[in-house]
Structure 1
Amino acid sequence: MTAPHLENEFVKLTLLDLSNYKHLSEIAKTKDLIYYSPSDISTDEKLKDYVQIAVDGYYHKTTIPFIIYDKTKQAFAGSTRFGLINWHNKVLHIGWTWIGKEFQGSGLNKHIKFLMLQYAFENLGFDKVEFRIDERNIRSRKAVEKLGATLEGILRKDTLMIDGFKRSTCCYGILKEEWLDIKRTVFEGF
């Protein structure tokens, strides 16, 4: 599997691996950056473990992890990935996204999601893209809804969090046949 290089005038997404993850070290230490995630990236060692899991998934063709570079601010901003890639059923997830506080609210995430959705549907030819979000994470839920994703259901108490809380997960999806309309109405001219 060849790692895609996704880029527009605002953002560049390249393969996240053990050679470049340290660019994210300071961002990853931000308090509560991934509060709604069952992962922990709060130390260099934990961040390296997080990246190693993503790299292992890449070699098993179940994930494609990206490091995010904000071209406007000329700085590394965070990480995202395609995950739970099901090549047979042509379904994948977009998630594991975290960007530094100084990049949030800038429109960067919308550019990231556009490039990823476009690649999933137009290059990989997938039939569905899913997003899984902690039910309590209203900000992320609203962002995915603005992208045109449909809430398909809630998995009740399905994920154990670091603090022992058992979260419920909202499942959103975008179908291939919805993509062109979403591309035109949500992303045109942004």
Structure 2
Amino acid sequence: MFEFSLPNSKIIYYPNLWSLDEANFLFKELKSRIKWQQYYITLFGKNHPQPRLTAWYGDQGKIYTYSGMTLYPHGWIKPLIIVKEKIEPIINTKFNSVLLNLYRDGKDGMGWHSDNEKELGKKPVIASVSLGAQRRFLLKPRDKKNNLREEIILSHGSLLIMAGETQEYWLHQIPKTSKPVAPRINLTFRFIVDN
């Protein structure tokens, strides 16, 4: 377990929370059983397919809106419950939803953003589980005058926790790469607050 000493943040990384066999099992189950979709986002008046596949699961009524899209949850399935029940005691947090992303290869990625939508409330706890190929996870401050940067290599079977003021002060991304890279599944567990 590593805790990063970045200002205005709480970021903790567990590189091997699941054994190789456990992580392989979860990856296979989720890749085949999740209802993956490719959503479109509007940039400068044009629709573009997101460079990844996505799914939203959670408690009934836990609707999530980001990048102009509104997602309605599919009900929990066994592999998601297995992951949820393992991480909740570690973080001492209950989650009612999870956003899944399937990065099919290096051409799939996620641009700079923070998970600061109003549905997540103030100081949200985001628990990010990685399964499959290793990918670079980059962090930079929202303050453009601050040149501080951090890079974490997210490994198969790992857990990354972002809490405290992280989403208020920091941006993160999964950059694309031209290197050959196998698929990766990312699960970001969240708590949607009642409006």
TM-score normalised by length of structure 1: 0.36
| Greater strand proportion | 2
TM-score normalised by length of structure 2: 0.36
Q: Which has the higher contact order (CA 8 A, sep 6+)?
A: 2
